[in-house]
Amino acid sequence: MKSNFPKHIAIIMDGNRRWAKRNKVSEFEGHRKGIDSLINTVEIAGKMGIKYVTVYALSTENYKERSKEEIRGLLYLLKEGYDKYRQRLKREGIRLNFIGNFEKLPRASRFIISKAKKELHKGKKGELTIAINYGGREEIVKAAQKTIDNKDPISEANLNRNLYTASLPDPDLLIRTGGSKRLSNFLLWQLSYAELYFTDILWPDFDKNQLRKALDYYKLAKRNFGS
């Protein structure tokens, strides 16, 4: 029987730029406020008993299509956010993980990712996974190629073993803020049986009450499905 409370939630954090425009601040400040919302959400989720949180920080499409200036700003925030919240995450017992195609990221960004994973790998209370330069289709293709290279038969189990998220349980609930109702190439394999919750709330305004609304939706949805 499925639990009526999720073990793993996935989040598409949409709306930082619109929040910035609405509040008459720079897009950079909107993304910075989004990081604050992320850390607060991870802490609240942990206190509620949700062990795994996986978020979509930067898609492969955005990495290619957004201006170089915006991408530089986003990657700078990766370092700034880690420096700001490193001790807080360590204190809360949060393990930090990253998934995506890091080969095309600047060397400085790859260094921060490696450093963060190394310094926060001992967390036992929860795990935050950040998808950066990530695409679900690309992930599946890479998993299939790795399976073939290993001379293993193509099967669900073998593909799953070669995904970026092999060490994680599949998400039970997807939350997308910002009003759009699509997956946007996020965790296409892993979200096959997840409940999907969409809200018009912009990500920087997502708080404890908004998380509770998503969890209430999940609980009701679980009661409606047999297995």
**CATH label of the domain that carries residue 95:** 3.40.1180.10
| pLDDT computed for residue 225 by the predictor | 45
Of 65-69, 74-78, 121-125, 206-210, the least confident: 65-69
What is the rounded average pLDDT of the residues 106-113? 92
Whether 139 has a pLDDT exceeding 90, the answer reads yes
The residue ranking higher by pLDDT, 69 or 136, is 136
Whole-number mean pLDDT of the chain?
Answer: 93
Neighbouring residues of 91: CB distance < 8 A, sequence distance ≥ 6: none
Task: Please check whether residue 79 lies inside any domain of the structure.
Answer: yes
Q: Is 52 exposed, middle or buried (0-12, 13-18, 19+ CB in 10 A)?
A: buried
The distance from CA 190 to its chain's CA centroid, rounded to whole angstroms, is 12
pLDDT higher than threshold 80 for residue 4: no
Cα separations (Å) of 7 from 4, 23, 116, 173, 213?
10, 34, 23, 9, 16
Contact 97, 128 (CB under 8 A): yes
> Residue 3 falls within a domain, yes or no?
no
Residue 170 covered by a domain: yes
- Residues forming the active site: 14, 62
- Per-residue pLDDT tens over the stretch 23-49: 999 999 999 999 999 999 999 999 999
Backbone angles phi, psi at 172, to 5 degrees: -90, -30
**Which one-letter amino acid corresponds to residue 91?**
R
- Note whether residue 139 is domain-resident: yes
50 touches 96 (CB < 8 A): no
Total tally of structural domains belonging to the chain: 1
Average pLDDT (155-181) is: 97
C-alpha separations of 56 from 30, 38, 88, 96, 147 in Å: 16, 11, 21, 14, 25
What pLDDT does residue 222 have? 58
147 in a structural domain = yes
Range of the domain at 131: 8-224
Flag whether the pTM goes above 0.85: yes
- Report pLDDT for 226: 46
At 56-109, the pLDDT tens digits run 999 999 898 888 888 888 899 999 999 999 999 999 999 999 999 999 899 999
Residue 1 is predicted with a pLDDT of 38
The answer to whether 106 and 145 have CB atoms below 8 angstroms apart is no
Q: Does the residue 218 lie in any domain?
A: yes
Model confidence at 204: pLDDT above 50: yes
Is residue 1 in a domain?
no
